[in-house]
Chain A
Amino acid sequence: MTTYLTRALSTLALAAGLSVVSSSCTKDLNQVPSYSANAEVVYSDPAQILQVLARLYGTFAVSGQNGPAGSPDISGIDEGFSNYLRQYWQIQEVTTDEAVIGWNDGTLPNLNTLTWNADNEFVRATYDRIFYEVSLCNEFIRQTSDDKLSSRGVTGAGAEAVRTYRAEARLLRALSYWHAIDLFGGGPFATEKDAIGTTPPYRNRADMFTFVESELKDLDANGPLLAPRAVYARADKAVCWTLLTKLYLNAKVYTGTDRSTDALTYANKVLTQGGYSLCNTATASASAYQKLFLADNGQTDARNEVIFPITFDGQRTKTYGGMTYLVHAPVGRAVSPGSAGINGGWAGLRTKPNLTGLFGANTGPGDQRAALFVFKGQNPSVDTLGQFSSGPLVAKFRNVTSAGVQGSDASGDFADTDFPMFRLADVQLMYAEAVLRGGQGGNLATALGYVNGLRTRAGSNTVATIALNDILDERARELFWEGHRRTDLIRFGKYATGYNWPFKGNVRGGRDVDATRVLFPIPNSDRVANANLPQNPGY
C-alpha cells in the first residue's frame, strides 16, 4: 500500500512539475536588458532627446560609444580609422598638394597617388560615415515629429526645445549630404519619411543639391535654429548660412550653374549678422593664428572666429581619429611630441613643397602661417611616400594651450583641441571669391579688405589687388590642412589636369589623371548591397 502511495505521489509530483514549468517559462522568452535605453522612454524626455542630438554632433568626433574604442558605430575598417573627421580630412587633404601620408595600411597609399578603386576601404569608410550620419539624423527627425512628441506627452517648453533640436538635425543631415554631393556626386537618398529597412533609391548630384538647398533655405526661413553664437558648437543660423555659401560657391561644379550671387547673399549674412571676429591677440608662446589650432581654442578668443567646431576633450571625448589623429600623425623627427602636447608621434603626415612654396616672396618673412612648417632635417621635396623624412613637417594642430601647457589628458594620448570646420576666415575668402567670380551683392574693395585682414592678422604683407587665382593660393595659405583643399582645387579646375604635385598619378614628379578622379567611386560594398546605385564614370 505504501509503495503504491509513494508511486502515485511521485507520478503526481512529476506531472505537476511539468505543467508548472511549461506555463511559467514561456514568458521567460521575452528578455529585455535593463542597461539599455528604450526608444519610447528616451523620446518622451527632452533631456534624453538632447542626449540623442549630442550624438548626432558626436558622430563627427568619436567612433563609437566607448571612447576611444569599443562599441563602434560602423565596421569594415579599424575603428580608429572609421572616424568621420579623420576620413573626411584625409580624403580632402592627402589626395591633394597639401598633404602626404606615409603609412602602408591597406589601400591607404592609393590616396596619395590618386589610384584608388571602388574597393578602397578608406573611400568606403568616408562614404559609410557620411551616410551613417544621415541615417542617425533621419531617425532623430522621424522620432521627433510634432505628432510623435504630442503622443508621447512632450509639450510646452520641452516641445519647443525639441523643435530646435530637430532643426539642428536637419542642418547636420544637410551638411553630410553636402559631403556626399562633393565627394561622390550623388548617392543613395532617404529622409525621415523612409522607414528603416527600405533600400534607398539613387539621387544624382543635381537632385541632391536641390534637396540640400531647399532644406537649408527652409531652415533659414522657418527653422527654429539658435541665433549665431548662442551656444558654442551647436549648429545655429550662421552654420546654415555658411553651408549655403559653400553650396552656392561650388554650384557650378555640382550643377553646371554659377550661383556666386547666392553665395554672396549668405556670406553677407554671416559677415554682418554673425557677430564673429578674427582672433587677433597673441600670447607669449602662440601667435594669433596658431591659437586657432591649440588645446584651448574653445575657450580663448579663437572661439570668436569659429562658426562651427567639432569639439574634443582629452578626457571626455576620446577617439583614435579626429583631433587625436591630426595632432599625433604629423609628429616625429624634428617635431617633438612634447611640443605638440602628446606622448608620441605617429610619423605619418607631411606636406608637399607645393604648399610651402606659396609662402616666402608672396607673404614676406613674418608670416605666422608659414612658421608652422618644420624643415629641419627634412628633405623639402617628397621623394618617397613611406619615409617620414621626405617632405616638410606641419605643426599646425597641437594639444598645448596658448600658454604652452599640455592638454587635459595627463597620459598625452588624447587632445583637447577643437577642429574648426567652419570659421570666419573661410567665409571672408568665400566672399572675396564670389565677388571675383562676378557675384552680385558685394564689392571688390571689401573683398580686398577681407583678404588683407587675414594677411595682416597672420603677420604677412598686404596685397594691393587680387585676382581669382590669388584666392586659391590665399585659401591654401590660410586654410591649409583644414579639410578644404580638394574641393577648392576642383572648383578652380586644377585637380585632375593642368597642375601637379609629387606622386599624383603614381609617378614621383606627378602627372595628370583622368578627369573622372574629381569624384570618388560609389564603394562596391554598397553597390552590392543596393542594386539601385550606378557607378560614377571611370570606375
Chain B
Amino acid sequence: MADANGFFSLVFYLFPHPFQPYMKHSYLAKLRFLLLLLLSLSAALPAAWAQSGTGTVSGRVTDAKKEGLPGVTVLIEGTSLGSSTNADGTFTIGNVPAGERVLVISFVGYSGARQPITVVAGQTTTAAPQSLMENATALGEAVVIAYGTARRQDLTGAVEQISEKQFVKGQVTNPEQLVQGKVAGVQITTGGGQPGAGTTILIRGGSSLTASNAPLIVIDGVPVDNNGIAGASNPLTLINPNDIESISVLKDASSTAIYGVRASNGVIIVTTKKGLRGDATRVMVSTQASVANIVKYSDVLSADEFRALVKARGTTGQLATLGQANTDWQREIYRTAYTSDNNVSVSGSTGMLPYRISTGYLYQEGLLKRNDLKRYSGSLNLSPVLLDGALRIDANLRGSWIDNNFGAQGAVGSAVAFDPTQPVFAGANQGNPFGQTADQLRIYNGYTEFNNRDDKGVISLNPLSPRNPVALIDQRRDLSTVRRALGNALVTYKLPFLTGLSASLNVGFDNQRGRGAIYVPAGAGSDFNRQGINNQYSQDLNNRLLETYLKYDGVVGPGKLELLGGYSYQRFENRSYVFNDNRADGSVFVPVSLSYSNENTYLNTNVLLAYFGRLNYNIGDKYLFTATFRNDNTSRFAKGRQAGYFPSGAVAWRIKGEDFLKNSTAVSELKLRASYGQTGQQDLGGNYYPFLANLTQSQLTSQYQLGNTFYRTLRPDQYNDKITWETTTTYDLGLDYGFADGRVYGSVDVYQRDTKNLLNFVNIAALSGLSNAGTFNVGNLTNKGVEASLNVDLVKGDKLNISVNANATYNQNRLTKLTGSDSPNDVGQPTGGIAGGVGNNIQINTVGYSAQSFFVNQQVYGANGKPLEGVYVDRNGDGVINSSDRVRYKSARPDYIFGGGANMSYRGVNLAFTLRANVGNYVYNNVRSNAFYDQNTSGFVVNRNRDVLNSGFNSAQYFSDYYMENASFLRMENLTAGYDFGSLVGKGTNLRLSFAVQNLFVVTKYGGIDPEVQGGIDNTIYPRPRTFTVGLNLGI
C-alpha cells in the first residue's frame, strides 16, 4: 500500500492529534482547516502546463429561438477539454490540440449536437453558432454507472440518474434528500426533523434481514463505509449537497453485481461537480435563508383536562401531586428555527488545469431549543489531461467539519409525558405532596422535578417519573465535532500499444474523526443521583481504497465491444476510544474498562479484496449485451469461506433501432431489457469477526466476586466458523419508452429478488453453541415488485413550458424460510421493541409474511364502540388469552410508493413541486398505547395522549390491535417558485431568486404527529418542520 501513503500523509497532517480536545477549536482553527485542505493540493500541483501545437475554439450555443443557452457543456471529443457556456451562450476552449476535432455539445433536457471543426495552432477558431432542440428524453445523456459512464440508450440494466436540474430544491442539507421521491423503487425515510437526522434508504424492499439493508454508496468512485461515526447521526451529512452534480441509482443485478458483495441492496453513485478544461472562470454564489416551524404537536391532555382526569381516577397520593400551573411542555421546548446555507464555488481552468473549488457554510437550527448543526465544507477538484490526452487525472478532495449541538433529544419524549399542571421552575404553583420548603423544591437547580419521600421523611428524586423537559434542554450540553476528509485520484492512461486500451488506477481514502462531549451539571434532575455528567467519546474511521483496472473499447465483429477487468482493495478501520465515566466535577463515577490487551482503544478492521470484469457488446444500437463478474473476498469470514463469486448478465433489444422505428417520431424510444445476476452481503454492522472463537473480558461493572477478590471474567463467545455470504439473485424485466417525439417517456420494470442463506440471527439448539442464538446462514426471502416512471412535457412553447413526472412502486416482501427446520412450532422471531414496560416486541418475522409484520391481539369492543380492557378474541378457543391468540396484522412497509412533481416555467418565472406518497404502511401508535390511567405511580402522574379519555384503560394493553393505524400519506415535499433575472448584475452574469416551502402539507388519517416513522413504531418523533426558504443564486 506504499503507493497510497503520500496521499494519506496529507490527511494526517490535517488531523494531527487524535485526542485533540474538542472544545479548544475556534473559528480560526476551522478556517485554517479549510484553507489547508484547499491549498495543500493546489499548491502541490504545477501552476500550468505549457504545451505547443494548440489553438483555441470559441462559439455560441442557442435554443430554438436563437437565445443564448447558459450552462451548456461543450467538449472536444476524446479529451476532457471543454467548457460550459456563459449566460449569453458563448464559450471558449483553450489549449485544443491542432487538427480535426469534433465538438460535443450537450445539455440536460436538450438533444445534443456534434460539430466538426478544424483547430489551427496558435489561433482562435470560431465555430458556427449551434442551436439545440429541447429533448427531454436526453438519450445521449451520459449516465454514471459502475467504473465509468454509459449513454442512456445503451443501458441494459435498471439505472436511474437524477441530475442537478431534477434535484429536490429548497432547504436540502443532506445529499439523499436531493432524490427523495424522485426515483421509483427507492424509499428514503429520515429519522425525524433534527438537523443531520439519520436516514434509512431502502431500495426495492431490502434484501437482508439481520444484515444491513443499506445500499452501497459510491462517491466519485470511492465506495464508502456504511457504518456511521460517533457524533454524527448520518454520515452523509458530511457531504455538501451543493457539490453534487448527479446521483445514479443502480437497482438491478446487471448494473450492481460488479460491486459484488456490497451490492445486494442497490448502489447509489454520487458524482460531484468538476471543472472543465478551457472553461472560463465562473464564480457561483448561493445563499439561502430558511425559517422552520412545527406543524403538529403530539395530542396530549391540557393542564385542565389532566387535572380533571387525575381527580376522577387518581389515588389520594396522586391527587396531592397536582400543581396549579398550566404548562404546555411541547411549546416550551420547540421554537421557530432558522437556517442559513451559503456556498461559493469557483470553477474554470488555469492553463491546462481544470479545477473547481468550493466552500460552504451551513448553520441549521432544529425545532428543539439548543439543537443546531454547523457544517463547514470545502472541496477541490482537479481534472487535468496530460501527454496529448493519453493521461487523464481526476483528483477530488473534500473536507467537512461539522459541529453538532444535539441539545437534549430526550426532551421530545418527556414533553409529551410531563405533568402539565407543574410550572417550569419550582415554586408556588408546583404540586407539593411532601410539604417541602421553597428551598427544598429548588434543589434541582431551580427546576420542577418529582420526588419520593421515605419513611424517615427523607426526600429524594423520583427516578421513575419523567424529567422536566425544559430542565433537560437547559442543562445538557451534548456537542460533537465530526471531521471528514474524502479524496481520491483516478489516473487513466491510454496505453500506447493498442488503440482503445486504457489502464486506470484509483487511489482513495475516507477518513473520519468523531469527537464528542456531554456535560450535565450536578443538581440537574436527569443525572441527580450521579451528580452530573462530564464525559467524552471518540471514534476514528480510516478507510482506504486501491483499484486498478484495464478497459478496452473497440469494434469487434459486428458490434462495439467494451471490456473491463480490474482489481479492488478496500480496508476499513474502525477505532473507538474508551474513557472514564465522570461526574460533572470531573471526578470518576465509573472508571474506564481497558481492553483485554490493556489498551484504551478498540480497533476493528474489515478488508475487502476483489477481482471484477465487465463485457458490453452493442450491435448496431439494437442488440445490447452485458455480462459482469466479481470475485470478492472479505476478512469477515474464516479462511476458506472468504471468497464469493457474483455473476450477472443482461440483454436488451432496442426496438427503436430497428428500421421500422428508426425514423418514427411517434415512438422516440423503445427498448426491452432483461437481466439476471447475483449479489452478496457480508455487512454485519459492528460484528467484524463472527467466525472467531474468542473470549470477551467483562468490564469493571460486570465483575464477579469470589472470596474477597473481584474478577474481570472471561466469557467464551458464540461464534460460527462456517459463516459466509448471503446471496441475492435478481431477475429484472424492463421497458424503456418514449413517445410523441420524446414528450412522453419513462420506463417500467418488473423484478424479483430472492435472497438465500440469509445472514440471520437465529435461535440455535440449546447446548449446541455458546449462546441461545447466533448469526448463521439460514433463511430465504423474496421481494417482488413493479416500478414505473413517467415523464410528460405537457406544454412546450416559446414562453410557457409545463412538464410533469411521476413514479410508482409496488413491492411485496415475503420471508420464505427462517430456520433450519420446517417445524410447525415455529411462530417466528419477535422484533420491534416498543416503549412501555420492558422488552415488549410488537412485530414478528414469520415465514409467509412480510418482514416486521405486526403481531397483535384482536381487540374486542363493547356495545358503545369502546374497547374492552383486556378482552381479546380467543383465537384458539382455549379460554386463555396468551401469545397463542395473537395474529399477524399488516406491516410497516408500504405496499405502494409514489413520487411525482411538475415543473412550470413562463419566461423567467418557474414553479416546481415534489409530492410523495406511501400507501398501505401501518404504524403502531406507541404514544396512544401508553395512554392508560396508571394508579400504580406514586409521587407523580404521567400525561397521556387524549385517547386515555376514550379507552378508559387502567392498565397497559400494549398488544391490542386498537393501536394499529393506517399510516398511508401524501406529502408535499417541496414547492419552489423562482425568477431568473438573467444578466441583471452585469453582462455574462446570472441572478436567480427563489422561494421554497418544504413539507407544505401531509394528507393522512394517521393520528400521531407524523405518519412517516422509521420501523413503524411511533413513540414520538422529533417533528419534521415546515420550512420556508428564500434563496439567491448569483453566477459571475
For the complex formed, measure the closest distance between the CB of B717 and the CB atoms of chain A, giving whole angstroms. 8
Report how many residues on chain B are interfacial, defined by Cβ distance under 8 Å.
115
Partner of A65, one of B635, B693, B697: B697
Q: Which of A122-136 contact B (CB under 8 A)?
A: 127-128, 131-132, 134-136
In the complex, are the beta carbons of B772 and A128 less than 8 A apart? yes
Partner of A42, one of B606, B688, B695, B956: B695
Partner of A387, one of B599, B819, B935: B935
In the complex, are the beta carbons of A529 and B827 less than 8 A apart? no
Partner of A200, one of B530, B604, B639, B768: B768
* Alpha-carbon distance between A400 and B2 when the two chains are bound, in angstroms: 62
Report how many residues on chain A are interfacial, defined by Cβ distance under 8 Å.
129
Given contacts A36-B695, A105-B839, A528-B826, A199 and B935 within 8 Å (CB-CB):
no
| Cβ proximity bits B458-483 to A, threshold 8 Å, 1 near / 0 not | 10111110000000000000000000
Question: Is B704 an interface residue, CB under 8 A from the partner?
Answer: yes
Given contacts A17-B3, A233-B705, A528-B825, A344 and B464 within 8 Å (CB-CB):
yes
Given contacts A3-B387, A115-B880, A66 and B706 within 8 Å (CB-CB):
no
Q: Most chain-B Cβ atoms within 10 A of its Cβ — which of A52, A67, A80?
A: A67
Partner of B773, one of A14, A32, A58, A74: A74
Q: Which residues of B contact A75 (CB under 8 A)?
A: 761, 771-773
For the complex formed, measure the closest distance between the CB of B525 and the CB atoms of chain A, giving whole angstroms. 12
Q: Which residues of B contact A413 (CB under 8 A)?
A: 529
* Alpha-carbon distance between A132 and B605 when the two chains are bound, in angstroms: 30
In the complex, are the beta carbons of A76 and B773 less than 8 A apart? yes
| Cβ proximity bits B622-635 to A, threshold 8 Å, 1 near / 0 not | 00000000000111
* Alpha-carbon distance between A316 and B388 when the two chains are bound, in angstroms: 71
In the complex, are the beta carbons of B701 and A318 less than 8 A apart? yes
Q: Which residues of B contact A338 (CB under 8 A)?
A: 452, 454-456, 458, 460
Name the prevailing secondary structure of the B interface residues: loop
Q: Which of B573-596 contact A (CB under 8 A)?
A: 590, 595-596
* Alpha-carbon distance between A24 and B201 when the two chains are bound, in angstroms: 36
In the complex, are the beta carbons of A18 and B548 less than 8 A apart? yes
In the complex, are the beta carbons of B839 and A54 less than 8 A apart? no
Name the prevailing secondary structure of the A interface residues: loop
For the complex formed, measure the closest distance between the CB of B2 and the CB atoms of chain A, giving whole angstroms. 8
| Cβ proximity bits B820-840 to A, threshold 8 Å, 1 near / 0 not | 110101110010000001111
Q: Which of B480-529 contact A (CB under 8 A)?
A: 493, 495-496, 503, 505, 529
Partner of A315, one of B3, B701, B704, B771: B701
Q: Which residues of A contact B830 (CB under 8 A)?
A: 76, 121
Partner of B597, one of A35, A51, A315, A411: A35
Q: Which residues of B contact A1 (CB under 8 A)?
A: none
Question: Is A300 an interface residue, CB under 8 A from the partner?
Answer: no
Residue of A nearest to B386 (CB): A6
Question: Is A479 an interface residue, CB under 8 A from the partner?
Answer: no
* Alpha-carbon distance between A57 and B700 when the two chains are bound, in angstroms: 16
For the complex formed, measure the closest distance between the CB of A320 and the CB atoms of chain B, giving whole angstroms. 8
Partner of A134, one of B464, B595, B767: B767
Q: Which residues of B contact A26 (CB under 8 A)?
A: 609, 633
In the complex, are the beta carbons of B452 and A33 less than 8 A apart? no
Question: Is B910 an interface residue, CB under 8 A from the partner?
Answer: no
Given contacts A22-B567, A62-B702, A531 and B823 within 8 Å (CB-CB):
yes
* Alpha-carbon distance between A503 and B782 when the two chains are bound, in angstroms: 46
Given contacts A18-B548, A31-B605, A388 and B597 within 8 Å (CB-CB):
no
* Alpha-carbon distance between A311 and B698 when the two chains are bound, in angstroms: 16
Partner of A336, one of B2, B453, B879, B936: B453
In the complex, are the beta carbons of A65 and B603 less than 8 A apart? no
Question: Is A313 an interface residue, CB under 8 A from the partner?
Answer: yes
Residue of A nearest to B768 (CB): A199
For the complex formed, measure the closest distance between the CB of A481 and the CB atoms of chain B, giving whole angstroms. 20
Stretch from A184-192, A250-258, A430-438 at the B interface: A184-192
In the complex, are the beta carbons of B695 and A39 less than 8 A apart? yes
Given contacts A32-B692, A344-B452, A197 and B768 within 8 Å (CB-CB):
yes
For the complex formed, measure the closest distance between the CB of B736 and the CB atoms of chain A, giving whole angstroms. 37
Residue of B nearest to A51 (CB): B714
In the complex, the number of residue pairs spanning A and B with C-beta atoms less than 8 Å apart equals 373
In the complex, are the beta carbons of B771 and A118 less than 8 A apart? no
For the complex formed, measure the closest distance between the CB of A9 and the CB atoms of chain B, giving whole angstroms. 11
Q: Which residues of A contact B103 (CB under 8 A)?
A: none
* Alpha-carbon distance between A62 and B695 when the two chains are bound, in angstroms: 16
For the complex formed, measure the closest distance between the CB of A187 and the CB atoms of chain B, giving whole angstroms. 7
For the complex formed, measure the closest distance between the CB of A317 and the CB atoms of chain B, giving whole angstroms. 6
In the complex, are the beta carbons of B462 and A344 less than 8 A apart? yes
* Alpha-carbon distance between A3 and B839 when the two chains are bound, in angstroms: 71
For the complex formed, measure the closest distance between the CB of B894 and the CB atoms of chain A, giving whole angstroms. 28
In the complex, are the beta carbons of A34 and B597 less than 8 A apart? yes
* Alpha-carbon distance between A120 and B390 when the two chains are bound, in angstroms: 70
* Alpha-carbon distance between A255 and B763 when the two chains are bound, in angstroms: 31
In the complex, are the beta carbons of B821 and A10 less than 8 A apart? no
* Alpha-carbon distance between A36 and B697 when the two chains are bound, in angstroms: 7
Q: Most chain-A Cβ atoms within 10 A of its Cβ — which of B607, B763, B768, B770?
A: B768
For the complex formed, measure the closest distance between the CB of B63 and the CB atoms of chain A, giving whole angstroms. 43
In the complex, are the beta carbons of B503 and A14 less than 8 A apart? yes
Partner of A38, one of B602, B642, B694: B694
Q: Which of A56-85 contact B (CB under 8 A)?
A: 57-58, 61-62, 64-68, 70-71, 73-78, 80-81
Given contacts A7-B390, A131-B766, A231-B706, A337 and B1 within 8 Å (CB-CB):
no
Given contacts A51-B714, A313-B705, A33 and B696 within 8 Å (CB-CB):
no
In the complex, are the beta carbons of A199 and B765 less than 8 A apart? yes
Question: Is A392 an interface residue, CB under 8 A from the partner?
Answer: no
For the complex formed, measure the closest distance between the CB of B192 and the CB atoms of chain A, giving whole angstroms. 24
Question: Is B436 an interface residue, CB under 8 A from the partner?
Answer: no
Stretch from A353-361, A458-466, A519-527 at the B interface: A519-527
In the complex, are the beta carbons of A28 and B609 less than 8 A apart? yes
Q: Most chain-B Cβ atoms within 10 A of its Cβ — which of A117, A194, A200, A525?
A: A525
Question: Is B731 an interface residue, CB under 8 A from the partner?
Answer: no
Question: Is A284 an interface residue, CB under 8 A from the partner?
Answer: no
Given contacts A52-B716, A333-B938, A524 and B701 within 8 Å (CB-CB):
no
Question: Is A383 an interface residue, CB under 8 A from the partner?
Answer: no
Q: Most chain-A Cβ atoms within 10 A of its Cβ — which of B700, B763, B879, B956?
A: B763
Given contacts A52-B695, A338-B456, A528-B763, A388 and B839 within 8 Å (CB-CB):
no
Given contacts A67-B702, A132-B772, A35 and B595 within 8 Å (CB-CB):
yes
In the complex, are the beta carbons of A530 and B706 less than 8 A apart? no
In the complex, are the beta carbons of B837 and A115 less than 8 A apart? no
Question: Is B955 an interface residue, CB under 8 A from the partner?
Answer: yes
In the complex, are the beta carbons of A17 and B548 less than 8 A apart? yes
* Alpha-carbon distance between A74 and B838 when the two chains are bound, in angstroms: 16
Partner of B704, one of A103, A105, A311: A311
* Alpha-carbon distance between A139 and B819 when the two chains are bound, in angstroms: 25
* Alpha-carbon distance between A3 and B51 when the two chains are bound, in angstroms: 13
In the complex, are the beta carbons of B766 and A21 less than 8 A apart? no
Question: Is B571 an interface residue, CB under 8 A from the partner?
Answer: yes
Residue of A nearest to B569 (CB): A25
For the complex formed, measure the closest distance between the CB of B584 and the CB atoms of chain A, giving whole angstroms. 13
For the complex formed, measure the closest distance between the CB of B824 and the CB atoms of chain A, giving whole angstroms. 9
| Cβ proximity bits A305-339 to B, threshold 8 Å, 1 near / 0 not | 00000010101111100000000000011101111
For the complex formed, measure the closest distance between the CB of A291 and the CB atoms of chain B, giving whole angstroms. 19
In the complex, are the beta carbons of A119 and B530 less than 8 A apart? no
Q: Which residues of B contact A234 (CB under 8 A)?
A: 706-707
Q: Most chain-B Cβ atoms within 10 A of its Cβ — which of A140, A190, A343?
A: A343
Given contacts A30-B635, A34-B599, A65-B697, A233 and B766 within 8 Å (CB-CB):
no
Shortest Cβ-Cβ A-B pairs, 6 listed: A78-B839, A338-B454, A67-B702, A336-B454, A55-B713, A67-B701
Q: What would be 10 A-B contacts, judged by CB atoms less than 8 Å apart?
A: A26-B633, A36-B596, A66-B701, A75-B761, A75-B771, A232-B706, A316-B710, A528-B819, A528-B825, A530-B765
Please name 7 further chain A to chain B contacts, defined as beta carbons within 8 Å, in addition to the given A58-B702, A65-B699, A68-B702, sorted by A numbering: A29-B609, A50-B711, A51-B714, A65-B696, A139-B770, A200-B766, A343-B529
